[in-house]
């Protein structure tokens, strides 16, 4: 199954953080926070500006991004967890 987000939305796969701290302590799943970093899997075409012209997306497929912790909607596609966000919820691109 494939999914193409609409307008300025993006489909992000969360990047899992290490299960150990730098000191070697293993963090259990119940104590871990959801990562606020992910890889863009799909993007919409962009949003319409006030003048009716299509504004292109600032991000592209394959970019690693930081996003707001509580933004977006969690979805599960083919057993994989994804997050659908608006482009405005992206805080920055990791280069």
Task: Report how many domains make up the chain.
Answer: 1
Indicate the DSSP class of residue 20: B
The backbone region for 66, taken as left when phi is positive above 0, alpha when psi lies in -120 to 50, beta otherwise, is beta
In a domain, 3, yes or no: no
In a domain, 2, yes or no: no
d(CA 66, CA 50): 27
- The structure tokens listed for 25 are 């302590």
In a domain, 43, yes or no: yes
pTM score of the predicted model: 0.76
Range of the structural domain that residue 35 is part of? 9-94
- The structure tokens listed for 89 are 């919820």
CATH number for the domain including 44?
A: 2.30.33.40
pLDDT digits (tens, 9 = 90+) for 72-90: 899 998 888 899 999 888 9
In a domain, 39, yes or no: yes
- Could you tell me which residue, 75 or 19, shows the higher pLDDT? 75
In a domain, 70, yes or no: yes
């Amino acid at each position: 199954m494939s999914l193409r987000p609409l307008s300025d939305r993006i489909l992000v796969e969360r990047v899992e953080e290490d299960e150990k701290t730098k000191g070697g302590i293993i963090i259990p799943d119940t104590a871990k926070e959801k990562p606020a970093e992910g890889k863009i899997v799909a993007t919409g075409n962009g949003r319409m500006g006030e003048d009716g012209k299509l504004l292109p997306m600032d991000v592209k497929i394959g970019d690693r991004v930081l996003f707001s912790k509580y933004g977006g909607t969690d979805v599960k596609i083919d057993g994989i967890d994804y997050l659908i966000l608006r482009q405005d919820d992206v805080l920055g691109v990791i280069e």
